[in-house]
Amino acid sequence: MPLMPAKPEYPHDHAQCSSDALAEAQRICARRGVRLTETRQKVLELIWGDHAAVKAYDLLEQLSGPGRSVRPPTIYRALEFLLENGLIHRIESLNAYVGCPQPGGQHSSQFLICDTCSIVIELTGADVARAVADEATSHGFEITRQTIEVHGLCGPCAARHAEGAPAP
Ligand SMILES: [Zn+2]
Ligand SMILES: [Zn+2]
Ligand SMILES: [Zn+2]
């Protein structure tokens, strides 16, 4: 069952949104017979802290506390696992990660990325991917990976910008 999250840029019950995402991740891992270890789950939770892209460095800082230091390879292995199982996406232009609202399957998506608040909106409409694939075919080009990342301002940031108010 695909998750149907509220549009991230609008106010919504994010506690519900992130707990749904974590429950879905548990189900996917159980179905695949892979283990969502404590560290993996913690990393996923932090990524689902909101809809903004998170850098590995920030995850490292948030996971390390007084008397607890987490080493970078631990984080990278957890991220690798979450990527492999389709639970998160890597935003290449930011070198950061976001939770996938329709996790567990292979899909090519497009990302709208706000340059002010880093919110990432995932579009899963197949039309864009198909249009690119068709163009590629007409050039005799074989696609191995499609990454479409679109930068700009999200709705609320654009509205604030229009009012001339400073960004948060
Ligand atoms: Zn949310
Ligand atoms: Zn996705
Ligand atoms: Zn924004």
More confident residue, 55 or 6: 55
Biggest CA–CA distance in the chain, Å, is 58
State yes or no: 100 annotated in a binding site. Answer: no
Mean local confidence (pLDDT), 15-34: 96
DSSP string, the chain: ----PPPTTS---HHHHHHHHHHHHHHHHHHHT----HHHHHHHHHHTTSSB-B-HHHHHHHH-BTTB---HHHHHHHHHHHHHTTSEEEETTTTEEEE-SSTTS----EEEEETTT-BEEEE--HHHHHHHHHHHHHTT---S---EEEEE--HHHHHHHHHTPPP-
Q: Report the separation in Å between the CA atom of 60 and the middle of ligand 1, taken as the mean of its atom positions.
A: 22
Please check the confidence at residue 37 and state whether its pLDDT lies above 80: yes
The pLDDT tens digits of the residues spanning 99-119 come to 999 998 878 889 999 999 999
Q: Report the separation in Å between the CA atom of 6 and the middle of ligand 1, taken as the mean of its atom positions.
A: 6
Mean local confidence (pLDDT), 49-65: 93
pLDDT above 90 covers a percentage of the chain that reads: 73
Please check the confidence at residue 58 and state whether its pLDDT lies above 90: yes
Instruction: Give the closest ligand to the alpha carbon of residue 99.
Output: 2
Q: Report the separation in Å between the CA atom of 103 and the middle of ligand 2, taken as the mean of its atom positions.
A: 6
Instruction: Give the closest ligand to the alpha carbon of residue 104.
Output: 2
Residue 94's pLDDT band, with cuts at 50, 70 and 90, is very high
Q: Report the separation in Å between the CA atom of 118 and the middle of ligand 1, taken as the mean of its atom positions.
A: 14
Domains (ranges, CATH) in the chain?
A: 13-103 (1.10.10.10), 107-168 (3.30.1490.190)
State yes or no: 29 annotated in a binding site. Answer: no
State yes or no: 17 annotated in a binding site. Answer: no
Model pLDDT, residue 67? 81
Q: How far is 98 from 55, CA to CA, in rounded Å?
A: 9
State yes or no: 114 annotated in a binding site. Answer: yes
